[in-house]
Amino acid sequence: MTTESVTFKVREDILSAVIHKSKQYNHPAAIIVFVHGFVGSKVGEHRLFVKAARRLAEKGYTVMRFDFVGSGESSGDYKDVTISRLIEELKGAIEYILLKENQSELTLIGHSLGGAISSLVAGNDPRVKQLILWSPVARPYEDITRITGSERVEQAKNFGTTDYQGFGISDLFFEDLKKHQPLRAITTYKGAFAIFHGENDKEVPPSNAFDYAAAFTKHNPSYHVPVSFIKHAGHTFSHTKWEEELFEKTEQLLYSHTTVQSK
- Confidence class for position 1, pLDDT limits 50, 70, 90: confident
pLDDT of residue 72: 97
The closest of 107, 112, 90, 121 to 209, measured between CA atoms, is 112
Backbone angles phi, psi at 168, to 5 degrees: -80, 125
Q: If you average pLDDT over residues 162-166, what whole number do you get?
A: 97
Query: 8-12, 243-247, 254-258 — which is least confidently predicted?
Result: 254-258
Q: Which helix (H) or strand (E) holds 115?
A: helix 113-122
Structural domains of the chain sorted by starting position, each given as residue range(s) with its CATH number in brackets: 2-143+182-253 (3.40.50.1820)
Burial class (CB within 10 angstroms; exposed 0-12, middle 13-18, buried 19+) of 172: middle
The closest of 26, 253, 27 to 134, measured between CA atoms, is 253
Q: Is 107 helix (H, G, I), strand (E, B) or coil?
A: strand
Q: 232 pLDDT exceeds 50?
A: yes
pLDDT of residue 24: 65
- 32-83, pLDDT tens digit by residue? 999 999 999 999 999 999 999 999 998 889 999 999 999 999 999 999 999 9
Q: Are 197 and 209 in contact (CB under 8 A)?
A: yes
- Sign of the C-alpha dihedral computed for residues 15, 16, 21 and 27 taken in this order: negative
pLDDT of residue 258: 40
Backbone angles phi, psi at 161, to 5 degrees: -145, 165
Q: What angle do CA 205, 208, 211 make, to 5 degrees?
A: 150
